[in-house]
Amino acid sequence: MSRDLPPEEFRVLAHELADWMADYLAGVGALPVSPAVRPGDVRRALPAQPPEVAESLEDVLADFRDIIVPGLTHWNHPGFFGYYAITGSAPGILGEMLAAALNVNAMVWHSSPAATELEEVTTDWLRQLLGLPAEFDGVINDTASSSSLYALAAARDAAFPDAHEKGLFGQSTGRVYASDQAHSSIEKGVLTLGFGQDGYRAIPSDAEFRMRPDALHAAIEADIAAGVRPVAIVATLGTTSSSSIDPVSEIAEVAREFGVWLHVDAAYAGPAAIVPELRPLLAGWQQADSIVVNPHKWLFTPVDCSVLYCRRPERLVRAFSIVPEYLSAPHEPDGESGRNLMDYGVSLGRRFRSLKLWFVLRAFGREGIIERLRAHVAMAKEFTTWIDDSAQWHRVAPTPLSTVAFRFVTAGADAHELDRANLRIVERVNRSGEVLLTHTQLDGHIALRLSIGNLRTTPAHVERAWQLLREAAEGEMASRER
Ligand SMILES: *Cc1c(COP(=O)(O)O)cnc(C)c1O
């Protein structure tokens, strides 16, 4: 007797869920993109104690529909323009469902050979789509935060060859350099690796929010003179606030001159390299030692899926490999062995993440991906023309890809008033429930961001966002006149 759900019951529920998912994807645009809940609402609606006896899954599903779904921010909504907009595409969802059913764990090759090898195949396919050289070897992690941490760990071992055995105590100080626009995950990685906040140096960026190579050069020179050891330079291609693109070729020259590891954070912008006319934006990134690209961002793969490419994967393995006997491979008669993914990062267990990426790459193909990314860029470009043609709005940064940074401006208001006005505008727009935008700080002031990355977003959704923004701005101007 099976102690799991009887197969026939599972089949019925799985069909029901398949219907629910298809309806959700078809109708998500009609739901409020962000929920009308306050902190604690969802929690209070659920029992504080676990169930003593079995409950019917139909009851669980009812609560899922009535309590959980209304408490969600719908990232799969076509009006989702916040953070970096993403898509859990239908092919990706199907791959994810199968991964759950299989429940394999690709810790080592023999714990799930096909999962390990499909990860090798899909990351190499993606490498080819991105136009990166064959030396780059990919592994899949949960997030870019993990991928960058692992890259920095490899860089640390390269800079401090004794660190693997002895740790960092008693060593001279190390430093990691990234622009003042870099993602917070880089500094977090530096902290996690034990360099402390002193081990992180934010390099100033220029008027278009790109790292200044001259300032980087000067900072490294000064550090070396003071006995501080450079560990890694992190160039960001597609920064989080403005999607600015660091001059990676010039940064690579600095890295070469001082023999420092170059890590490229292209978590969002990386997939742009698949599109021929956008690839030049990333030119030079192939000189990096490591690169992170998130298929769960702008490549239609459900969260989580982050690919870390390393030019010398043995460096990663050196940083992380400890093999206890219970995990060592049975001796293969022919002496050949497969890859053990546990050696490429902190976690032992590995979800079968390549399956959903494989589904996405096959279901869309290079041509389909290019066409979809182009549509996002075209919608963002159109939005920038509206901003640029309007006296009340100002574009804060160039728009190389599908993310626009802009702000409301009006004569006679000081910068502080404008900050508050922009925050009120984004809040009012978001309260509509039709679209979701987020804000950031650029040049010390509030800027709004519109990020396009959802497959269901159409020009009509972007037009609606623009209309809501203008209405909110008119409200601001009317209240100033009173
Ligand atoms: C989103 C983003 C990250 C963080 O990604 P996670 O996968 O959520 O850790 C890091 N860097 C950049 C440039 C990003 O856009």
Q: Which atom of ligand 1 is nearest to the CA of 182?
A: 13
272 and 416 housed in the same domain = no
What tens digit of pLDDT does each residue of 232-254 get?
Answer: 999 999 999 999 999 999 999 99
Nearest protein Cα to ligand 1, atom 14: 267
Interval between CA 43 and ligand 1 midpoint (Å): 28
pLDDT at 328 exceeding the cut of 70: no
Type of residue numbered 401: L
In a domain, 251, yes or no: yes
Q: CATH no. for residue 303? A: 3.40.640.10
Domain presence at residue 94? no
Q: 303 with 391, same domain? A: no
**CA nearest neighbour of 264 among 280, 245, 277:** 245
Residue 146 CA: nearest ligand 1 atom is 9
**Is residue 172 in a domain?**
yes
441, pLDDT greater than 90: yes
The answer to whether residues 223 and 192 belong to one domain is yes
Spatial neighbors of 83 by CB under 8 A, at least 6 apart, are 438, 449, 451
d(CA 308, CA 313): 10
| Protein residue with least CA distance to atom 2, ligand 1 | 267
Q: Is the pLDDT of residue 323 over 70?
A: no
Q: In sequence order, what are the residues at sequence separation of 6 or more whose Cβ sits closer than 8 angstroms to the Cβ of residue 2?
A: none
CA 235 – ligand 1 centroid, Å = 13
Report d(CA 361, CA 119) in Å as an integer: 13
Position 323 in a domain: yes
Q: Which atom of ligand 1 is nearest to the CA of 142?
A: 7
For residue 63, tell me if it sits in a domain: yes
251-289 confidence digits (pLDDT tens): 999 999 999 999 999 999 999 999 999 999 999 999 999
Q: Give the range of the structural domain holding residue 464, as residue numbers without chain letter.
A: 361-481
pLDDT tens, position by position, 462-480: 999 999 999 999 988 888 7
- Mutational test site, ligand 1, from 242, 248, 265, 308, max ligand atoms within 8 Å of CB: 265
Q: Is residue 71 part of a domain?
A: yes
Q: Based on the domain organization, do 143 and 263 belong to the same domain?
A: yes
CATH assignment at residue 469: 3.90.1150.10
Within this chain, do residues 198 and 291 fall inside the same structural domain, yes or no?
Answer: yes
Which residue, 329, 351, 373, sits at the end of a domain?
Answer: 351
What confidence category does residue 389 fall into, taking pLDDT thresholds of 50, 70 and 90?
very high
- Distance (angstroms) between ligand 1 centre and the Cα of 142 equals 11
Q: How many domains, the chain? A: 3
Task: Report yes or no: 65 and 72 within 8 Å, Cβ to Cβ.
Answer: no
Q: Please identify, by atom number, the ligand 1 atom nearest to the C-alpha of residue 239.
A: 13
Give the number of the atom of ligand 1 that is nearest the alpha carbon of residue 294.
7
Residue 300 included in any domain: yes
Looking at the CA of residue 240, tell me the nearest atom of ligand 1.
Answer: 15
SS (H, E, C) the chain: CCCCCCHHHHHHHHHHHHHHHHHHHHHHHHCCCCCCCCCCHHHHCCCCCCCCCCCCHHHHHHHHHHHHHHHCCCCCCCCECCCCCCCCCHHHHHHHHHHHHHCCCCCCHHHCHHHHHHHHHHHHHHHHHHCCCCCCEEEEECCHHHHHHHHHHHHHHHHCCCHHHHCCCCCCCEEEEEECCCCHHHHHHHHHCCCCHHHEEEECECCCCCECHHHHHHHHHHHHHCCCEEEEEEEEECCCCCCCECCHHHHHHHHHHHCCEEEEECCCCHHHHHCCCCHHHHCCHHHCCEEEECHHHHCCCCCCCEEEEECCHHHHHHHHCCCCHHHCCCCCCCCCCCCCHHHHCCCCCCCCCHHHHHHHHHHHHHHHHHHHHHHHHHHHHHHHHHHHCCCCEEECCCCCCCEEEEEECCCCCCHHHHHHHHHHHHHHHHHCCCCECEEEEECCEEEEEEECCCCCCCHHHHHHHHHHHHHHHHHHHHHHHC
389 and 340 inside one domain? no
Q: What are phi and psi of 25, to 5 degrees?
A: -65, -35
What pTM value is reported for the model?
0.96
396-429: per-residue pLDDT in tens? Answer: 999 999 999 999 998 888 999 999 999 999 999 9
Kindly give the distance from the C-alpha atom of residue 267 to the centroid of ligand 1, in angstroms, as a whole number: 5
Residue identified by tokens 């009308």 is 36
324 and 344 housed in the same domain:
yes
Q: Which two tokens stand for residue 377?
A: 């860029």
CA of 183 to the centre of ligand 1 (A): 7
More confident residue, 167 or 213: 213
Same domain, 159 and 197: yes
Residues in the chain: 482
pLDDT tens-digit readout, 341-369: 999 999 999 999 999 999 999 999 999 99
Quick one: 292 and 318 in the same domain?
yes
Pocket of ligand 1 (CB under 6 A): 84, 143-145, 183, 185, 236, 238, 240, 265, 267-268, 294, 306
